Structure 1
Amino acid sequence: MPYPTRAPGHRVLRLGRRSEPGRVYLITVTTWQRRAVFGRSETAKAACSAFTRPRTMGEAQLLAWVLMPDHVHWLIQLGGEPLTRVVARMKASVSRELRCSAPVKSRIWATAFHDRAIRREEDLRAAARYVVANPLRAGLCDALAENPFWDAVWLGEG
């Protein structure tokens, strides 16, 4: 039985899928070949600066995020734009920032991304806790206070 020489890839998974305006999505984007691009503080700070700018988000709202050495998790509530456009703009913004402020010359992002729509009845704060606790689960820190590369809109609320 002949095997295909190349797997169809993640793009095929998105065929027929539509993002919903107002829906919250948990997005995971990995770096090219899972390289630890954000393992250095300089590149991590530049990346965070880029994707937390209001113009980067457009109509979408960044509810929570965490930057890991080789990937990022974003909890995003869409505005009127499709999810693919929001993610592409965020990736492009980070890439531009890293090329300007940090000496990153190689490719930064993997082509695809993983998304999961958060069902309306799900607790968004639980999803946000899952996102920001990623460095703890990965053993990168013992407490969230040790990791400056995360945020959630619910900080400071009771």
Structure 2
Amino acid sequence: MNSPRLRLGRSSIAGQSYTLTMACLHRRPWFSDPRNATTMMGLFPQLDEQGLSWSLAWVVMPDHIHWLLELRAHPLPYVAQRIKSRSALLLNRLHGRTGPVWQSGYHDHAVRSEDSLRRHAMYIVGNPIRAGLSTKMGDYPFAWCRWPMDDR
């Protein structure tokens, strides 16, 4: 994951699309439990409704997430912090515990073209196939994409 020092001098732009990858602390498979994965999935539309993001695709893997979003009102670090802190709070509450859920930092990439946007979306929803969790696109219950996946 990126060091905070690598973020110095970087800026995020409202209206720009980004991919975010966030990993669980010690790669703990939090999201192997469907209750946890469902809790995480519910946060993407919430952030969209709050005007922070516009989700284009996401996948909740056992020990990490990939999220393709268009940034709305706040800088990318703020949006990443919101989803990580909110999910940690909900997961800890669900399991009657406290403590970190996520590794510090995250990996991000600014998507610069429409063609690249679709490639990133297909990469994200194809992640469960590459990990052996699914055999075809659209079958993994913890992935979503704004575009139909008929042209894979």
Give the TM-score taking structure 2 as reference length.
Answer: 0.87
Structure 2 distance, partners of 1:61, 1:16, is: 25
Cα shift at 1:41: 1.1
Structure 1 distance, partners of 2:64, 2:40, is: 11
Aligned to 1:4: none
User: What letter corresponds to residue 151 of structure 1 in structure 2?
Assistant: W
Q: Does 1:64 align with 2:57?
A: yes
Structure 2 distance, partners of 1:142, 1:156, is: 14
Q: Does 1:134 align with 2:127?
A: yes
Q: Does 1:116 align with 2:109?
A: yes
Q: Which has the larger radius of gyration?
A: 1
Aligned to 1:34: 27
Identity within the alignment, %: 35
Cα shift at 1:51: 3.0
Unaligned 5+ residue runs, structure 2? Answer: none
Cα shift at 1:93: 1.8
Cα shift at 1:157: 8.9
Does the 8 A contact of 1:56 with 1:89 survive in 2?
no
User: What letter corresponds to residue 78 of structure 1 in structure 2?
Assistant: L
1:7-38 Cα distance to aligned partner (Å, 9 max, x none):
xx711111111111111001100001111111
CA RMSD of aligned residues (A): 2.3
Structure 1 distance, partners of 2:82, 2:50, is: 8
Aligned to 1:154: 147
Q: Secondary structure at the match of 2:115?
A: coil
Cα shift at 1:105: 3.9
- How has the CA–CA distance of structure 1 residues 58 and 36 changed in structure 2, closer, same or farther, with 3 Å as cutoff? same
User: What letter corresponds to residue 125 of structure 2 in structure 1?
Assistant: V
Cα shift at 1:50: 2.5
Aligned to 2:13: 20
1:20-75 Cα distance to aligned partner (Å, 9 max, x none):
11110011000011111111112111111233324675332111000011100000
Give the TM-score taking structure 1 as reference length.
Answer: 0.84
Unaligned 5+ residue runs, structure 1? Answer: 1-8
- How has the CA–CA distance of structure 1 residues 134 and 104 changed in structure 2, closer, same or farther, with 3 Å as cutoff? farther
Does the 8 A contact of 1:58 with 1:86 survive in 2?
no
Q: Secondary structure at the match of 2:80?
A: helix
